Structure formats: C-alpha cells, structure tokens
Structure 1
Amino acid sequence: MNHSKALYAACLFAALNLCTLSARAQASANEQTYTYGTHLDIRKVLSITEDAGPSCGVVGARMTYLDSHGTEQVLNYQKVSDTCIGDN
C-alpha cells in the first residue's frame, strides 16, 4: 500500500512540474522590451515596477498588463527614476 502512495505522489509531483514549466514558458513568450515604434495593446495595467537606483537617473522598469484579448503581457523599458521627481 505504501508503494502505491509513493508512486501516486511522484506522478502528481511530475504533473505539477510540467504545469509550472509550461506556465514559465508562456510567461517568457509574452515578455518584450520596448523599442521606438513598438505596437502596444494595453487594456489594463496590472503593475509597474522599477529597478532600485541610488539617485536620480535612468532605470529599468517593468509593466505587467492585460492586452485586448485578456492575455497577460510584460513590457520592459527604460525610464527616469521616480527619485527624480522634484529634482531640478
């Protein structure tokens, strides 16, 4: 009886790993880096994050959004750091 439980657990673990790998592959397929002229199809912005920077300057940023089909997309781009707000 113990052997069949172990086999069942191993099969379940393998199936979950396959689902995780598939989700990771899909996520990376929907990731792009912005360049001038990139067509953007943004229905709803889910989050915007930026790399930490010690001072005012250009940093990498990442926007996660839903397109017009409801598919989650990720856009990497460069922007002026939020720490620059109010600096002259």
Structure 2
Amino acid sequence: MNTKAIYAACLFAALNICTLSARAEAADVTAKTYTYGTHLDIKKVLSLKEDAAPSCGVVNAQLIYLDSQHKTQVLDYRKFADGCNADN
C-alpha cells in the first residue's frame, strides 16, 4: 500500500477522534443564564449565536467559550439584535 495513503488515513482517523471528543465534551455542558453580576471567566470565545430577528429588538443569544481551566462553558443571555446597529 502507498505510504502517503497510510499517512492520510492515520491523519483522518486522528482528526475524527478529536472531533468526537470535542462534541462529547460540549454535549455534557449545561447552559447558564447570565444575570447582572455574573462572574465570567472567559479565556477564548468559541462561538456566538443569536435568534433570528425580523427587525431591531431584544433577542436571545448564546456564548460558547473556554474558561481559564480550558473547560467548555455555555452562557445564555439577552441582547439587542445585530440589525439594530443600522437603526442609529
């Protein structure tokens, strides 16, 4: 068998294992709801999502991040929709 094909197969398998473990870790995390004064320990932001809003207004949003212990955390909060920026 070709050496390059073996290396490619090993790399593909390693990437799949890393992806599965990351998904398993994210699935175990329960979302916390932000309240005023909540201490945030954010080392790295992984993703930001918000509900689709047809116009300017308050929407639900979610922040997924790594804390200083490299654990995945999920934070639910409310914010003005990104579409509101054009209304100023």
Q: Match for residue 27 of structure 1?
A: 29
> Residues of 2 paired with 1:86 and 1:50: CA distance?
17
RMSD after superposition:
1.7
Question: Which TM-score applies when normalising by structure 2?
Answer: 0.68
Letter aligned with residue 50 of structure 1: E
Question: Which TM-score applies when normalising by structure 1?
Answer: 0.68
> Residues of 2 paired with 1:72 and 1:58: CA distance?
26
Alignment size in residue pairs: 65
Say whether 1:69 aligns with 2:69: yes
Could you list the structure 1 runs, at least 4 aligned residues long, displaced by more than 6 angstroms after superposition. none
Query: Once the two structures are superposed, what CA deviation does each residue of 1:53-72 show, in whole Å capped at 9, x if it has no partner?
Result: 11100000000000000000
- How far did residue 85 of structure 1 move? 1.1
Query: Once the two structures are superposed, what CA deviation does each residue of 1:31-88 show, in whole Å capped at 9, x if it has no partner?
Result: 2000001010000000000001111000000000000000000000000000111203
Structure 1: unaligned runs, 5 residues or longer: 1-21
